[in-house]
Every structure is written in C-alpha cells, then in structure tokens.
Amino acid sequence: MAITIYGSARSRANRCTWALKEMGVSYDQKALTPDQLKGADYLKVNPQGKVPTMQDGDLTMSESLAINMYFARKYKKLWPASEKDQAAAEQWALWSATEAEPHAITMLVERAFKPADKRDAAKANAAEEAFKPRMEYLNTYLANRKYLIGSDFTIADLNAAACIAAAVPGGFKMESYPNVKRWLDACTSRQAYKDTRA
C-alpha cells in the first residue's frame, strides 16, 4: 500500500514529499481545499483539520518533521548510522521547529503570502530580528562543516533547510550568513527538492 500525503505543494507537505523523493519511495499526494480541510471526511483523518497528514497502512501521523524522521528510520535512508548522530538529527528537527521556523514563516506570510494591504510590516520586521541570532548561531556552527551531521546530507539537513528556506521568499538576506547560504544552497539545489517544488 502506497504512502498517502495530504497537503498541497504550497504547504508543509512539500517537506514530506521532498524526503520521499530523496529516498526513492512512491507515494500518493492529495491536495485539499480550505473547505475540505474542515470537512467531515478529512477530520476523520486529522481532527485538527491541518496538513500535512501522512498515512502508511494503519499508521496516521501529522507534523511534517516528525513524519520525515519516521521515513528516515523506516527506510534507513538519510538516517545517520550512530546513536550519537541520530540524537543530533532529533535535536536539529526540534531546533528547526522551535527556533527557526516560527520566524521564517512569519516573514513569509507577512511579506509574500498576504495581500499587500493586509501585511503587517512591524510583525515581519520583529520576526526578522528574532531570526538573525538563530542564523548567526547556525553560521558559526557551519563554519567548518559541509552539512549538519558529518559530511553527508541527512534528514537533519532536509528538515532544517525546509524550515529555513521559507525565510528567503520572506525577504531575509541570507548573504549576511555565508556559511548558512552555502549549506542552504547545497540542500535546495538537490534534484529531489527541485522536483518537489516543480
């Protein structure tokens, strides 16, 4: 039975389809309208009425980064070999979700997604200021590293890049953080990412 991903390419579901494409795993994707998200049929799948949701047999999961960690463990692809590095992958997923993503998404929504007359510049600017020290930390961390864990691209990089990349169309100037930019460019230039975005 194929994995089903609920959510459009313009939602956080694209993180999950990116991971599956990297792993060479087939899946079905179901894009939903806002009305369908709150419809009775979908609420049986995810009572929160949000995306993404993943179904794999009798397993149903939400939360994109957790879904990706499940894929990495199940298929043993993009999954670090040692327990130490596996713990680091979990740490980076949590850091991405709590430290980086909220500010990146706020910039994206307030500077790109909302109609121009509905945007809150003060909110976007505050998010940018909060995002900067996170990028300073990451820039220092990546000074002598190609990827977050070792020399290979792992699920840690995919999850973090998926969160951080949202800041770029949100007007954040990544050039001020050259190590982050180098790393992010390496992640988002991967064919699986391009295929997902296409």
CATH numbers and ranges of domains, the chain:
3-75 (3.40.30.10), 83-193 (1.20.1050.10)
The torsion angles phi and psi of 187, rounded to 5 degrees, stand at -70, -45
pLDDT at 10 over 80: yes
Nearest-angstrom CA–CA distance, 158 and 138: 15
Q: What is the pLDDT of residues 123-151, one digit of tens each?
A: 999 999 999 999 999 999 999 999 999 89
In this structure, how many other beta carbons lie within 10 angstroms of the beta carbon of residue 89? 24
Q: What is the pLDDT of residues 38-96, one digit of tens each?
A: 999 999 999 999 999 999 999 999 999 999 999 999 999 999 999 999 999 999 999 99
| Axis-axis angle for helices 64-75, 83-95 (nearest 10) | 160
Q: What is the pLDDT of residues 148-185, one digit of tens each?
A: 998 999 999 999 999 999 999 999 999 999 999 999 99
- With a CB cutoff of 8 Å and minimum separation 6, the contacts of 119 are 110, 111
Edge-to-edge strand ranges of the sheet holding 59-62? 27-30, 3-6, 53-56, 59-62
